[in-house]
Every structure is written in C-alpha cells, then in structure tokens.
Structure 1
Amino acid sequence: MSEEPSALEARGLTKRYRDVVALSECSFQLPAHRIIALVGANGAGKSTLMSIAAGLLPATSGEVLAGGQRIDPHRRPRPADTAHRVAILAQDKPLYRDFTVADMLKFGQHTNRVWDQQRAVNWLDRFEVPLQRRCGRLSGGQRAQVALAVALGGCPDVLLLDEPLANLDPVARSEVTGELIAEVADSGMTVILSTHIVAELAGVGEYLLLLAAGRPVLAGDIEELLAGHVRLTGPRADLPPCPGQIVRAQHTERQSTFIVRLPSQAVPSAVAPGWSSGPVTLEQLTITYLKTSAKPPRALEAAV
C-alpha cells in the first residue's frame, strides 16, 4: 500500500533576492493533517517559504510540492476536484476597508473555486464578529478573524498562517488556536503556523520545522524531539556523562551544562555521580538550535 502524500515537501528549494539568499537548498517533508510550527528568527526565510508554497512567488531553484503536486505560480490552475488547495493568510491580513464583513465573504466566494459559506460564517459567529460592520471599523483582532474566516471558507487542504496572532490578546490567541485544533480534527486540513514567538506554540504545534539562515536546522514531531534531548548539569567537564550529540555546552569555573541529543529517545535512567539530568522545554530547544545553527553538533561514541 502506498504511503499518504505529505502535506508539503521542499526539494532543494532556494530563493535569492539579488545579493540576499532568503532560502538555501531547503529540503523537508511535512506530514498531513497536523498543526505544524514553522519557527525561526526574523529574516530566517519563513515568509518567503510560505509565499513560494502558496504559489505567490517563484523559486530561484528547487521545487515545492503540496499533496504530491508541484506548485508553479506560472501554471494554469488545475480543476477544483484535482487540485491540492493551499491558502495563505499573510501577516498584514489584507481586507477592503469599505467592504462589510458580509461583502468580504462574497468576495471570498467569487475568488475561490471551492467555497463553504457556512464554514466561514460559523467561524465569525464563534467570535461574535458582526457581518454588517465595515472592515475599516473593526478592531485588529476582529479583522484577523475575518481574514481567517475567508481563508477557511476556501476549504484549503493546507492553510499557511504567517504570524497570524499578532493582533490578538492572550485570551483571544488561546481561543483561536483551540478552534484551529478543532478545524484540523474535523476537516483533516493541515495548518502551518509561522511564528518567532515560541510561547504561542504551547499545546498547539504537533510538528516542528525550525529555520535558521534560510535552511532547516531541526524538524520532527515535537514530543519526540523533546523526548530525544536532555539537559545535563554537573562538575566542570569537557564532555557530558552520556553518549549523543552535544547541541550546546556552557561552562563556568566549576560547573558545566550540556544539552545533548540522545541516540535513542529516552532520558538516561542514571548519570555519573555529581550530575543531574532533566527535560528540555520547547523554548529551550528552539533557542539552543538557533544559537548553535552555525556549528554542527559533535557526536560522542560512548559515555564518558
């Protein structure tokens, strides 16, 4: 039996803007029907990647596939029943200020080959956004909800969200992410959520793609990644007391702290006397890899 196609796949993807390389030889596969966290510092290439994946921007070289189908901004759209639909909600969430919310839904209906009016209306009802109010008179959070409703109404297989929660307060962010989780469960849609704020991912992201300097430095199921790393603290030493890859090492005159990627996804049951081991948080993991992305981890053959 053949495997289910990935939601999004990149093969040697590169994008150059004159002398600036935004993406460099990116290759990865992202699983379908999940909420995927696309994380990286500002300038890491997240928005460029999303624009190429949405067919809005051509790649310099390489390719992106959605559901096994190559994305080409110059190719004529495929019939709605065969296309793997990709929608993007950009950070600026463009809306026509003089349109009412209902007008924006009509606009979405006329610009999408597939449209589910009830799905869009249901999303707005959840957040009590008035349909007859002009978009220019909505709050920043309400405008974000309208943009999300239009994106969801198009019934995408893959929904790309580029810093989508910036205009929402903490309570609204929690509510939106909860509803997105429900949408994924109900529809089988894949959501790729771009952010540089790792705290937004708590309890939301299931799979991580971490970009640094235009290329992936870490990818995988978040729970498995966290289980596969350990933080070790003990007396000053050049090497930690267990095998694995040293992702980061910090030393004081008397103490050393290592973050190690283990050869198997299990925290050591015991470490050498004087050493303690503990789990790594998602924030610690992402910050560690971003800080050390220019230096490949060292492999240890055996415990010290």
Structure 2
Amino acid sequence: MARDRIARLGLAPARRAGRLSGGQRAQLALTLGLAKRPELLILDEPVASLDPLARREFLRGLMEATVEHEFSVVLSSHLASDLERVCDFLIVLVDSRVQVAGEVDRLLATHHRLTGPRRDPDRLPADQHVVCARHTDRQSTYVIRTDAPIHDPAWTVTQLTLEDLVLAYMDKHTADRRVALEVRR
C-alpha cells in the first residue's frame, strides 16, 4: 500500500524527506501513518503549514484513504474551510472545553443567524438558545440554536457556514471572558 501511494503521488523513494516540498512531506507522513493500517488516525494540525493547493491535495488524499482502507480520523485544525470539506462530526474546543459537538449536517441545520430590530435575548422564544449576540443601537444579530422553525417576521434568518458556526462558539467564549472597561473623568 505504501509503495503504491508513493508511486501515485510521484514521490521518488530515494529522495530524502528533507528535500521534499511541504506538501510532499505531509503526503509522505500520511503514507507512513497509513502503512500501519490503523483503525484510528489522529492528526494534529496536519495542514497548518501548507499552501492552499497542497492542503487541498492532502485532504483529498486523506479522504480517499479513509474510504479505501476504512478507518476513522480525528483531525484538529484552525482552518474551518478545510474542515467543511472533510468533516462529518465536529467538536469545537475552546480552552480545552467542549463548546458544541455533533454531526456537521445536524449542527448546520439547527444553527441560524437572526438579524433584526434590537431585542433583548430574554424576549426570544425559550426554544431559541443564544450562542452569541451583537447589538448596535437599532439592530440585534444573534446566532441561535433551535430545532423549531423561526416564524417571527421581524427577523432575517440566514444559514451559517461551518466557519460561522465555529466562530460563533469561539466568540461566545471570548465574550464571556471580556472585562468591561469603565472610563471615569
């Protein structure tokens, strides 16, 4: 399997790994990990230092390998756009604490952005759980989680991308930790 993958990637077996490009080194590392035929492969930021094309190729190779060899992958990444291409189950961690977890399709189906006239969160229906909120003098924008349909005509409802969802939970956490500044004159 490793020889076939190396040949398919166009890597010269005699070439030193240190002379390979970042993308080629990442593919080689994945090949070495797959050579053991794991049931579970754990990858920590495997594409962080790769350019966009190399990232795409690595993730495509990873997905092909998971289908071909039937194993699971736990992948950590700060690049939500990459996760959207390959992830079917998401866990958002902030400061080592789980903020949300679930199947990606289900999470995206139950999270929405509401934009409308300024409204306090306690005036939202009980089944709409606020993930994060932003307010101006006249407008409120909420990211909410709900299984129920949203019927209030005052709100413009938009679907979230996976990146929007991740950032909403990260923003919620940082907003909870912000210290209000008071300026006295």
Q: Which amino acid aligns with 1:247?
A: V
Residue aligning to 1:271 = 152
Equivalences for residues 153-192 of structure 1 within 5 A: 153-192=35-74
Is 2:26–2:58's contact at 8 Å kept on the other side of the alignment? no
Residue aligning to 2:182 = none
Is 1:231–1:278's contact at 8 Å kept on the other side of the alignment? yes
Is 1:144–1:167's contact at 8 Å kept on the other side of the alignment? no
Is 1:208–1:221's contact at 8 Å kept on the other side of the alignment? yes
Is 1:241–1:271's contact at 8 Å kept on the other side of the alignment? no
Residue aligning to 1:260 = 144
Shift of 1:241: 4.8
Identity of aligned residues (%): 40
Taking structure 1 as the reference length, the TM-score comes to 0.54
Is 1:244–1:261's contact at 8 Å kept on the other side of the alignment? yes
Shift of 1:166: 2.6
Secondary structure, aligned partner of 1:259: strand
Residue aligning to 2:27 = 145
Secondary structure, aligned partner of 1:292: helix
Is 2:5–2:31's contact at 8 Å kept on the other side of the alignment? yes
Residue aligning to 2:165 = 285
Could you tell me which runs of 5 or more consecutive residues in structure 2 were left unpaired when the two chains were aligned.
177-185
Could you tell me which runs of 5 or more consecutive residues in structure 1 were left unpaired when the two chains were aligned.
1-118, 296-304
Shift of 1:125: 2.1
Are residues 145 and 290 of structure 1, via their aligned partners in 2, closer, same or farther at CA, if it must alter by over 3 Å? same
Secondary structure, aligned partner of 2:32: helix
Is 1:230–1:267's contact at 8 Å kept on the other side of the alignment? no
Residue aligning to 1:217 = 99
Q: Which has the higher contact order (CA 8 A, sep 6+)?
A: 1
Residue aligning to 2:183 = none
**What whole-Å deviation, never above 9, does each CA across 1:233-286 have from its counterpart, x for those lacking one?**
111111365432111111111111111110x2x542x323x3211111111111
Return the alpha-carbon distance in structure 2 between the equivalents of residues 176 and 267 of structure 1.
39
Secondary structure, aligned partner of 1:148: helix
Return the alpha-carbon distance in structure 2 between the equivalents of residues 241 and 276 of structure 1.
14
Shift of 1:220: 0.6
Are residues 193 and 283 of structure 1, via their aligned partners in 2, closer, same or farther at CA, if it must alter by over 3 Å? same
Higher helix share: 2
Taking structure 2 as the reference length, the TM-score comes to 0.86
**What whole-Å deviation, never above 9, does each CA across 1:88-108 have from its counterpart, x for those lacking one?**
xxxxxxxxxxxxxxxxxxxxx
Is 1:229–1:267's contact at 8 Å kept on the other side of the alignment? no
Are residues 231 and 159 of structure 1, via their aligned partners in 2, closer, same or farther at CA, if it must alter by over 3 Å? same
Residue aligning to 2:179 = none
Is 2:23–2:58's contact at 8 Å kept on the other side of the alignment? no
* CA-atom RMSD in angstroms: 1.7
Q: Which amino acid aligns with 1:271?
A: D
Is 2:131–2:142's contact at 8 Å kept on the other side of the alignment? yes
Return the alpha-carbon distance in structure 2 between the equivalents of residues 132 and 275 of structure 1.
62
Is 1:227–1:267's contact at 8 Å kept on the other side of the alignment? no
Residue aligning to 2:2 = 120
**What whole-Å deviation, never above 9, does each CA across 1:10-41 have from its counterpart, x for those lacking one?**
xxxxxxxxxxxxxxxxxxxxxxxxxxxxxxxx
1:193 is aligned, of 30, 50, 75, to: 75
